[in-house]
């Protein structure tokens, strides 16, 4: 039973355009959400996060939107660059017992075409 | 500053053998986590240490898996009687502390385990 779902295994975007990666979750106890970026043969690196008390968080070219009622979040990358090509994981944490555990989606492989 | 390091980067073993995977967390980080990433999946939680003790080992798949962190720094994940289904990338992460929701976990590059 997957609690964090990334339904698009892959996404191709032209350089300079917007990349939108989507994530859905089912556990209403989650209240902190993170995006990690992973290059081959490297560990995931933290990209951006959002608390459930917010609906938007922005950091440079990266913006994460959270829709709590729909249990949906998305990562926007504008403008997309070839170096953004990687696998992006959505992850979630709760605030109760086990709040240190990250629950990950399966990932979306982003390819930015020059 | 050094990040999380893991050794070996690759490990090939035969079914039934014993393996040890090592993790060196970021200096000063008291919390340490092990995750396992199977092909086509996201990382899945295995075990969490706060200091020397395993605070939560609920993610370990069975009693063939065991992890230690005797001095509150380096951790070793031990797998007995390996099976082909154990083949995966084993990721270690550390954070300054685990006591708040917003602690960022820093991941190592992982150890790719292949059981033949």
For residue B37, pLDDT over 90 is answered with yes
Using a CB-CB cut-off of 8 Å, the residues of chain B touching A104 are 42-44
For residue B63, pLDDT over 80 is answered with yes
Domain ranges for chain A, please list them: 4-113
Q: Domain containing B87: what range?
A: 1-7+19-95
**Could you please report the per-residue DSSP string of A27-78?**
-TTEEEEEEEEE-TTS--EEEEEEETT-SEEEETTEEEEEETTTTEEEEEES
Euclidean distance between CA atoms A58 and A65, whole angstroms? 9
- Site from B26, B51, B101 to mutate, A interface, most A CB atoms within 10 angstroms: B101
Here the tokens at position A106 are 């399966």
Query: Closest chain B residue to A38 measured between Cα atoms?
Result: B109
From first to last of the 114 residues of chain A, give the pLDDT tens digit: 789 999 999 999 999 999 999 999 999 989 899 999 999 989 999 999 999 999 999 999 999 999 999 999 999 999 999 999 999 999 999 877 667 889 999 999 999 999
Tell me how far apart the terminal alpha carbons of chain A are, to the nearest angstrom. 38
Contact: B107, A43; criterion CB under 8 Å: yes
- pLDDT for the residue B1: 55
- pLDDT for the residue B100: 65
Report chain B's mean pLDDT, rounded to a whole number. Answer: 93
A2 touches chain B (CB under 8 A): no
Euclidean distance between CA atoms A64 and A74, whole angstroms? 6
Domain A4-113, CATH among 1.10.150.120, 2.60.40.3080, 2.60.40.10, 3.40.190.10: 2.60.40.10
- pLDDT for the residue B51: 87
Residue B84: inside a domain = yes
Contact: B42, A43; criterion CB under 8 Å: no
Contact: A102, B105; criterion CB under 8 Å: yes
DSSP bridge pairs for A81: none
DSSP bridge pairs for B53: B50
* DSSP H helix total and E strand total for chain B: 0, 11
- pLDDT for the residue A1: 74
Quickly list H helices, B1-116: none
Residue B73: inside a domain = yes
Using a CB-CB cut-off of 8 Å, the residues of chain A touching B51 are none
Q: What is the CATH number of the domain that holds B36?
A: 2.60.40.10
Tell me how far apart the terminal alpha carbons of chain B are, to the nearest angstrom. 37
- Over residues B20-41, the mean pLDDT reads 95
For residue B90, pLDDT over 60 is answered with yes
Here the tokens at position A60 are 């440079």
Residue B25: inside a domain = yes
Residue B69: inside a domain = yes
Using a CB-CB cut-off of 8 Å, the residues of chain B touching A44 are 43, 91, 107
Residue B29: inside a domain = yes
Residue B105: inside a domain = no
Here the tokens at position B99 are 């006591």
Using a CB-CB cut-off of 8 Å, the residues of chain B touching A102 are 33, 35, 43, 45, 105
- pLDDT for the residue B101: 65
**Given its phi and psi angles, is residue A60 left (phi above 0), alpha (psi -120 to 50 degrees) or beta?**
left
Provide the domain count of chain B: 1
């Amino acid at each position: 039973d997957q609690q964090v779902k990334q339904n698009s295994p892959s996404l191709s975007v032209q350089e300079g355009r917007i990349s939108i990666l989507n994530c859905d979750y089912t556990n209403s106890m989650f209240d902190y959400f993170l995006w990690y970026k992973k290059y081959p043969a490297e560990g995931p690196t933290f990209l951006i996060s959002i608390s459930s008390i917010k609906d938007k968080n922005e950091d440079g070219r990266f913006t994460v939107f959270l829709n709590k009622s729909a249990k949906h979040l998305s990562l926007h990358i504008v403008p997309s660059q070839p170096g953004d090509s990687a696998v992006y994981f959505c992850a979630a944490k709760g605030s109760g017992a086990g709040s240190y555990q990250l629950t990950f989606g399966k990932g979306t492989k982003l390819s930015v075409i020059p | 500053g050094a990040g999380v390091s893991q050794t070996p980067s690759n490990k090939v073993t035969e079914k039934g053998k014993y393996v040890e995977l090592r993790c060196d967390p970021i200096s000063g980080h008291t919390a340490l986590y092990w995750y396992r990433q199977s092909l086509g999946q996201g990382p899945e939680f295995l075990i969490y240490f706060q200091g020397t003790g395993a605070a939560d080992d609920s993610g370990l798949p069975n009693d063939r898996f065991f992890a230690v962190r005797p001095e509150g720094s380096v951790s070793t994940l031990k797998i007995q009687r390996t099976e082909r289904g154990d083949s995966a990338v084993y990721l270690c992460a550390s954070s300054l502390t685990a006591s708040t929701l917003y602690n960022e976990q820093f991941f190592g590059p992982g150890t790719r385990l292949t059981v033949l």
